[in-house]
A = this chain, B = another copy of it.
Amino acid sequence: MATGQETEADLEAYDELETRIERIANVGNAAGILRWDQEVIMPEGGTPARAKQLSTLSSLSHELLTDERTGELLETLEDQDLEGEQAAVVREVRRQYDRATSVPQDLVEEISETTSNAHPTWMEAREADDFSIFEPTLEKLVELKREYATHVDSDADPYAVLFAEYEPYLDLETAERVLERLRDELVPLIEAIDESDAEIETDAFAGEFDDDDQEALARDVLDSLGYDWDRGRLDTAPHPFSSGTQFDARVTTRFDESDLLGSITSTIHEFGHANYTLGLPDEGYGTPLGESRDLTVHESQSRLWENHVGRSRAFWEHFLPIARERFPELEAVSPEAAYEAANQVYDDNLIRVEADELTYHLHIVIRFEIERDLIAGDLEVADVPEAWNDKYEAYLGIRPETDADGCLQDIHWSHGSFGYFPTYSLGSVLAAQLYTAAEDDLGDLDERTREGEFADLNQWLREEIHAHGKRYTTPDLVEEATGEGYTADHFLAYAKSKYGELYDLEGY
């Protein structure tokens, strides 16, 4: 420990840093509300003004962060032997500060402008099913993001730098190792499923389901899982998401009359995200201690609820009677049939967002391998469509007939987001690890799920994950919560056991 006098000076510097980052957080959270509003309720005509408002908030936030006073405070605090929460705050702010100050403002603006224009170009290319329309833009984005990565760390693998924007603490080697393992173990599992003779009930949710009744049921789902309506809302959005803070974390979903199951699982997924946000400590608001860990952990929360709870037999035993009150036609459906329908594995689906729990990861692996090669310069942009189609054939046994259903299907690259996709799989893998650890601590969770009792599981997640904010790095958080390092063992065991049983597979 430092002397008393130094401690007081530390405290002053720490308080000043805290005040500074709280302002940045407030600007960021204000921007979050503006984006929610834009996605959910803003009239179309508001777009030009909204873009300007968001741009100003973004540049103000950047200026506050990169102000040289932030750097001075960090240096002062790093000279002291801070511990615990304060050390964690300094670590996280240092990381943001270094990233923000290392990239020239010109480049930030060029990327921002290029991605603004990239979005309509990607839309046009996808609608015209013509990759060549998007090709020059994608080339430019790859080049700019490579340049960006070099500014952040000229010694590192540029793709590792980009990946770290979304997942800063699980290194790229870990991601690579896990994704390779998913590919190597899921490809044969999916092949075995394709060859299985098991008859799965796939039509349990066939039919037309009124949108308003679906909305009422989505509210039932959220009620049942324990969503805190005093700090949240449910609305619809074309691309469901959840956003907010621990004081106000909102869920969006969407309704398609022919896809009741989709709206239920999507609502559960977004509940998982919002529920994580709501579990962040109130007193940490405005600092990293009150902010969620990065995308891997966030996705672990949504997938845990969506897959381990919402796609379990026990859940359908609990929830089908509730669903029948909204949709009496489900009287004819058994919990087992609902369970099977919610877990069918598709052998002909080309679209990531419509994928099942298993093939999903191969969609991710394909994108990961392609974008890693693109950024490394080992793959030319012009060759993306063929590489894409070859990989779909190799890993999933299907070949897209159009680029619209192939490499143009996802929005992410038009946002300049390279390195984002892997966190979807890494999060699902973590979900299985956390669910296993929760059962180790709490005992069988299926029984509670069957009774609609989710409080124990939620309490466990609150204590082990949510309450810590960014206090721990991702690997330390996993270690603290589960007693072991980050691993795909539990996900693969879960996948093999569940689908081996469901599809009556030999050797699984």
Indicate if A69 sits at the interface (CB-CB under 8 A): no
CB-defined contacts of A43 to chain B, threshold 8 Å = 229-233, 248, 250
Closest to A248 in B: B46
CB-defined contacts of A56 to chain B, threshold 8 Å = 22-23, 26-27, 30
Indicate if A52 sits at the interface (CB-CB under 8 A): yes
CB-defined contacts of A60 to chain B, threshold 8 Å = 23, 27, 60
Q: Name A239-258 residues within 8 Å CB distance of B.
A: 244-248, 250
Q: Measured between alpha carbons, how far is A244 from B56 in the docked complex, in Å? A: 17
Q: Contact at A42–B286, with CB atoms within 8 Å?
A: no
Q: Measured between alpha carbons, how far is A390 from B95 in the docked complex, in Å? A: 66
CB-defined contacts of A341 to chain B, threshold 8 Å = none
Indicate if A237 sits at the interface (CB-CB under 8 A): no
Q: Which of A33-41, A97-105, A135-143, A324-332 contacts B (4 or more CB under 8 A)?
A: A33-41
Indicate if A49 sits at the interface (CB-CB under 8 A): yes
Q: Name A28-72 residues within 8 Å CB distance of B.
A: 29-31, 33-34, 37, 41-50, 52-53, 55-57, 59-60
Q: Contact at B26–A57, with CB atoms within 8 Å?
A: yes
Q: Contact at B286–A46, with CB atoms within 8 Å?
A: no
> Which single member of B44, B57, B229 contacts A30 (CB below 8 Å)?
B57
Q: Contact at A49–B233, with CB atoms within 8 Å?
A: no
Most B CB contacts (10 A, CB to CB) among A52, A53, A59 go to A53
Closest to A233 in B: B43
Indicate if A228 sits at the interface (CB-CB under 8 A): yes
Q: Measured between alpha carbons, how far is A29 from B37 in the docked complex, in Å? A: 13
Indicate if A285 sits at the interface (CB-CB under 8 A): yes
> Which single member of B23, B45, B59, B285 contacts A49 (CB below 8 Å)?
B285
CB-defined contacts of A245 to chain B, threshold 8 Å = 46, 49
Copy number of this protein in the oligomer? 2
CB-defined contacts of A42 to chain B, threshold 8 Å = 248
Closest to A31 in B: B30
Q: Contact at A285–B52, with CB atoms within 8 Å?
A: yes
A70 CB to closest chain B CB (Å) equals: 16
**Contact string against B for A residues 1-38, beta-carbon threshold 8 Å, 1 for contact and 0 otherwise:** 00000000000000000000011001101110110010
CB-defined contacts of A33 to chain B, threshold 8 Å = 33-34, 37, 53
Q: Contact at A247–B46, with CB atoms within 8 Å?
A: yes
Q: Measured between alpha carbons, how far is A59 from B27 in the docked complex, in Å? A: 11
CB-defined contacts of A29 to chain B, threshold 8 Å = 49, 53
CB-defined contacts of A27 to chain B, threshold 8 Å = 53, 56-57, 60
Q: Measured between alpha carbons, how far is A56 from B282 in the docked complex, in Å? A: 18
Contact A46/B285 with A34-B30, A57-B26 known, Cβ cut-off 8 Å? no
CB-defined contacts of A59 to chain B, threshold 8 Å = 23
Q: Contact at B41–A53, with CB atoms within 8 Å?
A: no
Contact A41/B233 with A30-B30, A49-B247 known, Cβ cut-off 8 Å? yes
Q: Measured between alpha carbons, how far is A50 from B27 in the docked complex, in Å? A: 11
Q: Contact at B45–A228, with CB atoms within 8 Å?
A: yes
Q: Contact at B233–A48, with CB atoms within 8 Å?
A: no
Most B CB contacts (10 A, CB to CB) among A43, A57, A228, A233 go to A43
The 3 residue pairs across chains A and B that have the minimum distance between CB atoms:
A46-B248, A45-B231, A26-B56
29 cross-chain CB contacts under 8 A:
A23-B56, A26-B52, A26-B53, A27-B56, A29-B49, A30-B30, A30-B31, A30-B56, A33-B33, A33-B34, A33-B37, A41-B41, A43-B229, A43-B230, A43-B232, A43-B233, A44-B230, A45-B228, A45-B247, A46-B231, A46-B244, A46-B247, A46-B248, A48-B247, A49-B247, A49-B248, A50-B247, A52-B285, A60-B60
Contacts A46-B248, A49-B248 supplied; 9 other A-B pairs, CB < 8 Å = A26-B57, A33-B37, A33-B53, A43-B229, A43-B230, A43-B248, A43-B250, A49-B245, A52-B285
